[in-house]
Structure 1
């Protein structure tokens, strides 16, 4: 039975997850896209338009971000987010996928590779989060104060979407109203800040080096040389800890690779697939 393009919600792991699924009848290769912190599927819009011409694509709004539900019962840990993605791919009957993770999404990908390595044939990590510790105990305890989510909202309003984009991008000239509004939209309701408060409590630290060293999946690491959020030294350390990885550095590029360099990222992904397939033949 042919699958058709679908955009919507599925109840997965006790929460409604927003997804965009673009089947491709001419390819059996599936990409699963996972965005970063304070982001959504929106960040991949340029890359999706390139990938879906040749491959099958599933892009996910990781709870509580984007259009996915914000739920007081959901556990916003990386392990649970990884399990939610795994269950979503199972609902589509997907097997042997290539995962693409940007920033925090890269850490979710690494959790999936650790938990269920058989799901992935390879992975692409774009300025992946790595080696971050859990929130300090005083912050976790403070998060239980009533209305703490209003402090989170105040912090977000003070930094602002435009300032966050300027920090994430090397080339500020590409910032426009469409981009600002696309990132701002999910933060116009208070429930996101309640969920972010829960994430402060639930988020465990990133995978330690000894776990990363057990991951055997071939990984392509793409990094911007002007990444202020996840500096290049993080990518270099990750490249050493992942036993089957390759690191490529993009010049004059910041943290938001899918925004700044979608065409180059796409070409590197295609080359990575081609080299991998030649090695397997």
Structure 2
């Protein structure tokens, strides 16, 4: 198995997007699974899930801008809708007619946006603590973000909190936090352009899909949630599963928000179980 593929880039709206492709053999047809990471994260967050699922899928991971190794472009439109267009554009240029989407946190909301706008392109959704029911930035925050010092303000907030403390808040079992995780998650934030892009993201981000839109999504969906999630508490998941017509909720004790890091074995087992039950080729 190609466990360490080379990083590649494609161009979307004058922005270079980093991605990696994991496939057992280019001659063996398997369904495609695209991973979409969360806010302040990168494709690195799925490194534990990829080898567990690669026997069943050709897997693609990518870095949403401005995160990971993708460009930190000041003029990019950092809206959910545009991020979903990025995913579909990638599928188009690689002639992927349809795929499975797995999204974590912000990536989960982008996956939902893809299913809403392009239902025929998405086979099934696997959502790990997806961002849900969040409103767009308040008028006050929007106006404040135009002040010249706002990116510096964000930088001060980030450095005051620190990557380790952020990971502590996201992970229930803090013994899982390694030096490599801290270094990798911190790297993009050493670039001063990051905070200019985050400022623009605050302005560009529309609110999450509301109940009316969610109820129109017919795509089969599996939702995964940690019961110790401090970022997006588990009751959000119970609400979401009521609003999505074809969704099932799976919850995990002693797991927090960063599920791909915390319970990759249990999530991969559930994905394989669900697909094996519906398709004999996955067995």
Both structures adopt the same fold (TM-score exceeding 0.5): yes
3-state SS of paired residue (1:155): helix
Q: Which residue matches 2:279?
A: 277
CA distance in 2, matches of 1:6, 1:171: 31
The match for 2:62 among 60, 63, 71 is 60
**Cα displacement string for residues 171-203 of structure 1 (whole angstroms, at most 9, x for unaligned residues):** 011111011111111111101111000001000
**Cα displacement string for residues 214-272 of structure 1 (whole angstroms, at most 9, x for unaligned residues):** 00000000111111111111101110000001001111111111001111111011011
CA distance in 2, matches of 1:256, 1:27: 31
* CA-CA distance at 1:12 after TM superposition: 1.4
3-state SS of paired residue (1:167): helix
The 5-angstrom pairing of residues 232-251 of structure 1 reads 232-251=234-253
Q: Which residue matches 2:19?
A: 19
CA distance in 2, matches of 1:114, 1:14: 26
* CA-CA distance at 1:275 after TM superposition: 2.4
Q: Which residue matches 1:145?
A: 147
Question: Structure 2: which 5+ runs fail to align?
Answer: none
Q: Which residue matches 1:256?
A: 258
**TM-score normalised over the length of structure 2:** 0.94
**TM-score normalised over the length of structure 1:** 0.95
* CA-CA distance at 1:51 after TM superposition: 2.0
RMSD, aligned α-carbons? 1.4
CA change 1:27–1:261 in 2 (3 A) is: farther
The 5-angstrom pairing of residues 70-81 of structure 1 reads 70-81=72-83
3-state SS of paired residue (1:164): helix
Q: Is the 8 A contact 1:27 1:54 kept in 2?
A: no
Q: Is the 8 A contact 1:24 1:54 kept in 2?
A: no
Q: Is the 8 A contact 1:13 1:87 kept in 2?
A: no
CA distance in 2, matches of 1:27, 1:54: 10
Runs of 4+ in 1 over 6 A off after TM superposition: none
* CA-CA distance at 1:6 after TM superposition: 4.7
Q: Which residue matches 2:214?
A: 212
What count of residue pairs does the alignment treat as equivalent?
275
3-state SS of paired residue (1:89): helix
